Structure 1
Amino acid sequence: MHPLERLDVSSRVAKRAQYEAFEFSVVAEGVRVRNCSHADPSEHEYVVTVRDGLPTACTCPADERFDGGCKHRVAVAIRDPVLAAVNAKSVAADGGVASEPEHNSESSENNADESDCDCPELRGEFPCWQCVWSGERKLND
């Protein structure tokens, strides 16, 4: 069952969760939700707790004051990549799950593993991320 089906929400809250400009960050407590629809988004930042794939609580005033899920909990529930990131505790820029870089014990940490190098596939003198990260190559100015 989808998390949204398990939350008791009004249609007004569901609509706002869809159209307001939210940013999400995975934090130790769950998901930090920032509402960028406001003039000062830093004043509209709350933490949503996720338990067993369900946003169960939010630090916003509305979650305490009203019955049912607040818009922040619904915003998390309707975005599968955000829920997946909470489970994985990290997310890639494209919304997928990021993986930790593997270090080859046979080579030093500063040398890129040749199988990870994508430099030959790139145009010009632009290095791949693995080579920049490992210090093998530098970005041109």
Structure 2
Amino acid sequence: MRIGELAERTGTSRRLLRYYEEQRLMAPGRSMNGYREYDESLVGRVLQIRGLLEAGLPTRVIQQILPCLETPRSIHIPGATPETIAILEREHDRMSARIESLTRNRDAIAAYLGAVRAERADPADLADGTRHAPDGRPHSA
């Protein structure tokens, strides 16, 4: 596929896709006329890169860990520096804290919605599904 299609399918600008290529985060092929040709697998790769960037990882770390994310059974990072390990540990802790916060917020919203729905439930609702308007007259839901 061409860069425009990849951009559309991933919601990523063409400029950003070229940047990912410059950073060696992905490598499109080239057609006979020199145009970039993007393989179908790069859709998932771009979405994964975007997710890692949104999580706060720098591109130099993403470049090192992307091969491990494609084949988790063969995780091996040759030359992982203490700096890279520290960054990954820090990001892992940060992501875990974010997940915990999101989970608490999700649960609080669910509890709020449950309370609102229970409060709005009209005891005058009939078994046949007919609901009553505030003035007591039946109306359709």
Normalised TM-score (structure 1): 0.23
Higher relative contact order (CA 8 A, sep 6+): 1
TM-score normalized by the length of structure 2: 0.23
Larger Cα Rg: Structure 1 or Structure 2?
A: 2
Q: Say which structure is richer in strand.
A: 1
